[in-house]
A and B are shown apart, each in its own frame.
Chain A
Amino acid sequence: MPSKFSSLITKLVKESTNEHGIIDKSLVNNVLVGLKEINSPMHQEILKEFLTEITKTLRFQLVEVEFGSETSKSVMTKLKDKISATISRPLDFKFTTNKSLIAGYRIKLVDDVFEDSVQSRLSKLSQSFTS
């Protein structure tokens, strides 16, 4: 059920995003300072809803990409372009190296994980022996 502040929250979230539609930490800070200055009696409720919405938006924007080894910038850009072309919403990419993958990649998008790594193949093999 939409809350009584829903249109205000939408506007505040919009104020917190940069030109690429990504949540920007400094812009969020600006909104928080503004909210504090107004000092409305509804301050706490608005703040709670705003932070919940920001967290939700951040979760939907974040794409965590893990590689098993150091990867070149060109591969990262190609991957970024390919994912952005598939998903029609602003995305914030975070690239890291996870040596436990041994080789391959792991992409986490909200609560979906796409994975092809040596670690996952070994785990599958171990499961096929034990099941």
Chain B
Amino acid sequence: MSSITDLIRKEIENLSTDATRTNVGSIITLADGVAKVDGLSKVMFNEMIEFPNNVLGIALNLEEDSVGCVLLGDVSSLKEGDEARTTGKLLSVPVGKELLGRVVDAVGRPMDGKGAINASQSLPVERIAPGIIPRKSVDQPLQTGIMAVDSMVPIGRGQRELIIGDRSTGKTTIAIDTIINQAKINKQGEASGDANFRPVFCVYVAIGQKNANVARTIKTLEESGAMEYVTIVSAPAADNPANQYLAPYAGCAMGEWYMENGMDALIVYDDLSKHAVAYRQISLILKRPSGREAYPGDVFYLHSRLLERSARLKEDCGNGSLTALPIIETQMGDVAGYIPTNVISITDGQIFLEGDLFNKGIRPAVSVGLSVSRVGSAAQIKAYKKVAGKVKLELAQFRELAAFSQFESDLDATTKASLDKGARIVELFKQTAANPISVEVQTSLMWAMQNNFFDSIAVGDVNRGAQSLRKYLETQGKEACDLIYSTGKLEENTEQKLRSAVEDWKRTFS
């Protein structure tokens, strides 16, 4: 009790008793979460505006005779003529490790009922992306744990890799599996006691999603033990467009904190199509001129300024990184849409997911032809590069040959071999959700495939075989995998150990 009294006394003693000067205005119009305010002559762009009943707004439109503010929170208590005050502050969100394991809204307020977030620092949501000087080329891998991705479209720390595809093709699953894999690697690295180990902290931004989907994602992350490394920023479909518009920037500020403090972070924007729609809604209400598909003219800048904030920093700038996995939903597989082409041109590659492959049971449904990583093998460990170097080409050839071979009954031996190999790789790449594979096991599986150990197994049994081999490599054949993990290379002695392990497994597999 006395501590509360002391706290109150301290607050009263520290209270400034000087006269205050504030810049005020009054609401002229109020509609759809946007208020037009008369006055506020000294307002800054993106400044937080205070309305009655603790409602906050952001000044987005500074016009000659009025200010357009998007409102955050419950606007039902506001009315025409209400006073609006400038705060002198840009919209900021709490940042730091205190946010790990928490679910917050677009302004960093907790939504999970786990109490207040005692973050000691905050950062503005809108910030300038790192320039040319502090940046460094992407050269460290960020393992997704998904064989089809890590082998054909490797992602590096600091890269922006777009996940694009129609609805229900497994876009979110790829992002969530990547987060789960980071948690798995983090736990493994922390347990090893390696002083040079760099964990990857994750931020998942849910924009315009159904609350049920967000709840499912949280459950998946909790069940897989990944939640302790993740912060979820949620602006669901039921939230107002202003919060949906702000959520990715808020999440980015949270991710940037790790990068600027010499750590590695991963951010998932799920998804930017809905983000663009929320921004279009705000822009139309603010009466900004609309362009193609009614999007405002700065819809490219909306995403470019967000994604440019992901980077890999130089050693003298802390050596941190922020990797971004933005998600875009296409309509009927049309990658040439306005928003998809914008984001494709901003990012460093894309993982395109095909509905047809998904429906055929090829999951993850990664399209070999349309998926690309502009960082390429620079973001792969040497051992993996050695075994997976040609796999993309082989699979692309397989898809092409498979299409033609439907009309040919008599195939030559080379074509038959290519088809056979391709079908086996496709089977090898099939992977269930929330089941990431470590890079050393992936390397070993690819090595076994490239060294024809799966050739004697029927195509339909290859996936079962791969799972059996995976189990074997994680238990009895661990020595070879440990060598790959520690050296990152596939040297002669490692290959010998791997060969003997795979041969042992082959004898037991039926």
Chain B facing A: main interface SS = mixed
Q: Given that A111-B40, A125-B12, A128-B11 are known contacts, is A116 also in contact with B19, CB under 8 Å in the complex? A: yes
B20 at the interface (CB under 8 A from A): yes
Please state if A124 and B15 are interface contacts (CB–CB under 8 Å).
yes
B16 at the interface (CB under 8 A from A): yes
List, in ascending order, chain A residues with CB within 8 A of B14's CB.
128
0/1 per residue, A107-126, Cβ < 8 Å to B? 01011111110001100110
Please state if B15 and A115 are interface contacts (CB–CB under 8 Å).
no
Q: Most chain-A Cβ atoms within 10 A of its Cβ — which of B15, B19, B21?
A: B19
Chain B residues 259 to 311 lying within 8 A of chain A, measured CB to CB, are: none
In the assembled complex, the CB of B54 is this many whole angstroms from the nearest CB of chain A, namely 8
Q: Measured between alpha carbons, how far is A112 from B11 in the docked complex, in Å?
A: 27
Please state if A113 and B22 are interface contacts (CB–CB under 8 Å).
yes
Q: Measured between alpha carbons, how far is A111 from B20 in the docked complex, in Å?
A: 14
Please state if B12 and A114 are interface contacts (CB–CB under 8 Å).
no
B33 at the interface (CB under 8 A from A): no
Residue of A nearest to B85 (CB): A113
Residue of B nearest to A130 (CB): B54
Q: Given that A121-B15, A124-B15, A125-B15 are known contacts, is A115 also in contact with B22, CB under 8 Å in the complex? A: yes
* Size of the chain A interface, CB-CB below 8 angstroms: 14
Q: Measured between alpha carbons, how far is A129 from B23 in the docked complex, in Å?
A: 24
Please state if B15 and A111 are interface contacts (CB–CB under 8 Å).
no
B510 at the interface (CB under 8 A from A): no
Please state if B39 and A111 are interface contacts (CB–CB under 8 Å).
yes
Q: Measured between alpha carbons, how far is A115 from B20 in the docked complex, in Å?
A: 5
Please state if B41 and A110 are interface contacts (CB–CB under 8 Å).
yes
Residue of A nearest to B21 (CB): A114
B25 at the interface (CB under 8 A from A): yes
List, in ascending order, chain A residues with CB within 8 A of B11's CB.
125, 128-129
0/1 per residue, B13-44, Cβ < 8 Å to A? 01111111111110000000000000111100
Please state if A111 and B23 are interface contacts (CB–CB under 8 Å).
yes
Q: Measured between alpha carbons, how far is A111 from B66 in the docked complex, in Å?
A: 12
Residue of A nearest to B50 (CB): A127
List 29 A-B pairs, Cβ < 8 Å. A108-B24, A110-B39, A110-B41, A111-B23, A111-B24, A111-B25, A111-B39, A111-B41, A111-B42, A112-B22, A112-B42, A113-B21, A113-B22, A113-B23, A114-B19, A114-B20, A114-B21, A115-B19, A115-B22, A116-B19, A116-B20, A120-B20, A121-B15, A121-B17, A124-B15, A125-B12, A128-B14, A128-B15, A129-B11
Binding site for A on B (CB under 8 A): 11-12, 14-25, 39-42, 85
